[in-house]
Structure 1
Amino acid sequence: MKQLSHFFIWCNLSLISCVPQEEPPQQTGPEFKAISNVSYGDQERQVYDLYLPANRNENTATLILLHGGGWMEGNKSEMNSFRDFLREQLPQFAVVNMNYRLADHDQSPYPMQMEDISALVGHLQSSREEYQIGERLGFVGVSAGGHLALLWSYTRDEADQVQMVCSIVGPTNLLDEAYMNTQNADLREMLDLFGSDEATLRSASPLFQLQDDAPSTILFYGGQDPLIPNSQGISLKQRLEELQVSHEFHFYPNEGHGWIGLNLLDASLKLKAFIEKSF
């Protein structure tokens, strides 16, 4: 189980260096600023790292990163490669790398982790003048973090701040038969965190919460993923098509719960282009 939070490999320096670098903007406004472990609540896990771009203003959008780990493990440090990629390739965005409270058999992920994201967004909103940023948001989540990114964007974005959401190998349907009947002990342990009540599992499934006014969505899945059945990504893709929600779906048949090499570079370029298009 301790391996799961480190299983997804995304960016490495050699591939990042292959992506064309943009010229840094001319300095005309505030300087770049980084702040570590900012509290957004009174619990130890309720902290985030913040990276404020140079030349930011009241229209600067923020990208929020959500780590994986099966809802019960993981740390924001595991998203540092994403943080670096976004800061280098999209320097006009503020970046938030957040921790959230971890679930256990006494405390379900849902709605606790939704509440943490709401608290984080509220903290950003109340700090906009201090940080010199705007209201617009984007989410990038991996595995369990992808699930949380989708679910919050589809159900909790009451102010319509979210312009785009990215799920990388994230669960979308906790009622999927491939999940309900899994023989994978680690996966079973994670899914049991949500309990067995069908109404709760439906409420916690992005697939069933998606509406036609959802933000633009980009999905990445691997055909050989031992944790996330192919049906998870494909079902959400089909529902996005039915509701005519702007989206992209990228499927790598020979990849698992993460990938490196040319497919990594391909996915990185697609994610960058999608973020630029969505704002």
Structure 2
Amino acid sequence: MTLSVSAQEVDSVIYKQIDTVALQMDIYYPEQMEAGRDYPAMVFFFGGGWNGGSVSQFEPHARYLSKRGIVCFLADYRVRSRQKTTPFESLMDAKSAIRYIRKNAARFRIDPDQLIASGGSAGGHLAAATALVQPYNESTDDLSVSCVPNALVLFNPVIDNGPGGYGFERIGEHFYAFSPLHNIRAGAPPTIFFLGTEDRLIPVATGEYYQTVMEKVGSRCDLHLYEGAGHGFFNYRSPEFYYHTVLETDKFLESLGYLEGEPTLRLKVE
């Protein structure tokens, strides 16, 4: 089984400067954008345990979804291996990225009220935390600009940082304020959540509990479980899982009114 993702011109901007560190995001635009139209936006945060990772992880997703009509952003953020930082700085950067996109909506030709945050593993944590976690804002951010996305697309996200959850040894007692699972509240954005049943980091029970709490506060949470799949199952290197998760993402965004028409992604069986 194979998938083909065609070449596409990419723009880049620096969205944040901290001392000598310049954080960049790559931008994928829809082809032949209509004059006077504002498009949905989607920002992706890569996985890697807040330790490493690359924006290239979600490049195939951005290429496809931009062709479907979404302006897609692949945002870099500080990690331990490169900047000797903690998960708290990673979250500050994710919030800064969303504020930058929303503040520059006219420049990017996007609708600031149709902003989707997405990510995998620790990047999934960042996406969810921008929506749910109130502290950990960069002192230089314009807090009058909301960092809360309008929808979430989460790929085996690290949503429990409490005792027994991922990252507790680094987060410690701050988990009460840092862990998305512990901060779900009314108004949480509609969410789609992808998880493998053999994920060694995020138990199925955790995903199911997250969905239960979301529904209790009146928010939508579509949980999709993939039998036998482990952590990172959704990546492009696994064509079948990539295809099915992106297809469900497409349907989810269409149900919210962010996309129109049938999905165009095709899986070739060889």
Stretches of structure 1 that go unaligned for 5 or more consecutive residues are 1-10, 18-31, 180-186
Specify the code of the residue in structure 1 equivalent to 2:40. A
Question: CA deviation digits over 1:33-59, x for unaligned, max 9?
Answer: 7312x1111143511001233226453
Pairwise mapping of residues 3-22 of structure 1 onto structure 2 (< 5 A)? 13=3
Name the structure 2 match of 1:220.
Answer: 194
Distance 1:155 1:265 in 2: 31
Distance 1:203 1:248 in 2: 24
Name the structure 2 match of 1:66.
Answer: 45
Task: Check whether the contact 2:118–2:127 (CA below 8 A) recurs between aligned residues.
Answer: yes
Pairwise mapping of residues 249-260 of structure 1 onto structure 2 (< 5 A)? 249-259=223-233, 260=238
1:206 and 2:176 are equivalent in the alignment? no
Pairwise mapping of residues 240-251 of structure 1 onto structure 2 (< 5 A)? 240-251=214-225
Distance 2:2 2:75 in 1: 21
1:85 to 51, 56, 64: 64
1:266 and 2:244 are equivalent in the alignment? yes
Distance 1:130 1:261 in 2: 34
Task: Check whether the contact 2:120–2:155 (CA below 8 A) recurs between aligned residues.
Answer: yes
The 1:214–1:56 alpha-carbon spacing in structure 2 relative to 1, beyond 3 Å, is farther
1:147 to 113, 122, 125: 125
Name the structure 2 match of 1:27.
Answer: none
Task: Check whether the contact 1:45–1:99 (CA below 8 A) recurs between aligned residues.
Answer: no
2:149 to 162, 184, 190: 162
Moved over 4 A (4+): none
Moved more, 155-164 or 58-67: 155-164
Specify the code of the residue in structure 1 equivalent to 2:156. V
Root mean square deviation, CA, Å: 2.7
1:264: Cα distance to partner?
Answer: 3.7
Pairwise mapping of residues 127-138 of structure 1 onto structure 2 (< 5 A)? 127-135=104-112, 136-138=114-116
> How many residues are matched?
237
* TM-score w.r.t. length of structure 2: 0.78
Moved more, 226-235 or 165-174: 226-235
* TM-score w.r.t. length of structure 1: 0.75
1:233: Cα distance to partner?
Answer: 1.2
Distance 1:139 1:125 in 2: 12
Identity %: 23
2:209 to 232, 235, 240: 235
Name the structure 2 match of 1:41.
Answer: 16
Specify the code of the residue in structure 2 equivalent to 1:67. F
